[in-house]
Structure 1
Amino acid sequence: MSLLPRPDRRYLDERGITVREVVDGVKKGVILTGIPLPEGKYQVPLADILILLPPSYPEVAPDMFYAVPHLRLVAGQCEPRCTEARETHVDQVWQRWSRHNNEWRPGIDGIWTMVKRVERALEVAA
């Protein structure tokens, strides 16, 4: 059984995003693999992004997201703000991107909202 509702899976398929659904103890989530990063902004061109899904998803918003490898800005050779924390999920240490979502609209928003938030955060990170 899929962790994601059909509209979420359809969106990811249409965008050509490769996704792995994961269960780690009581935590469930999706790993978006090989996500392109803004050109020249980070030390690598691609990253995997983990989005943990709350038990009541999609009625409740995913909160933060996580990256592997740990991303560093090329300019200044530093980590983006609010990414210093590390957490282990699915037997891997992830860089936590503390970006909270207070504008989730139950019944309207889905994984597409979170993907757009991730893309925006990666673009504007400083």
Structure 2
Amino acid sequence: MSISIKRVYAAAAPQDGFRVLVDRLWPRGISKVKASLGVWLKEIGPSTELRQWFGHDPSRFEEFAERYRAELDGNPAVDELRGIIAEHETVTLLYGAKDAEHNQAVVLRDYLADHTA
């Protein structure tokens, strides 16, 4: 099993495997065809309130990650994503943010690694 992350605006590649968009909002300026998605799992994205509070401010990332992990603890979409991961050898979590180090896909990938048996 391999879980990677990638910006949805980057070109799809065969090594991406099954592509899952993990943003609550559809990314601007990209068509569903160009996104080349397996599934859009918007329910797994951070809540609107948390996303707006974070505002992609790197100085808030640590607290954002803590709050988002708490949301994931009670989110049924996590089980849905685990099922997707179990069905595919490689899964790529797609995100729209410009910052590759400070976004929800980073937190989600690490959360899954920490909470997988």
TM-score range, shorter chain: 0.3 to 0.5
TM-score normalised by the chain length of structure 2: 0.33
Q: Bigger radius of gyration, 1 or 2?
A: 1
TM-score normalised by the chain length of structure 1: 0.31
- Structure with greater proportional helix content: 2
Higher RCO (CA 8 Å, separation ≥ 6 residues)? 2
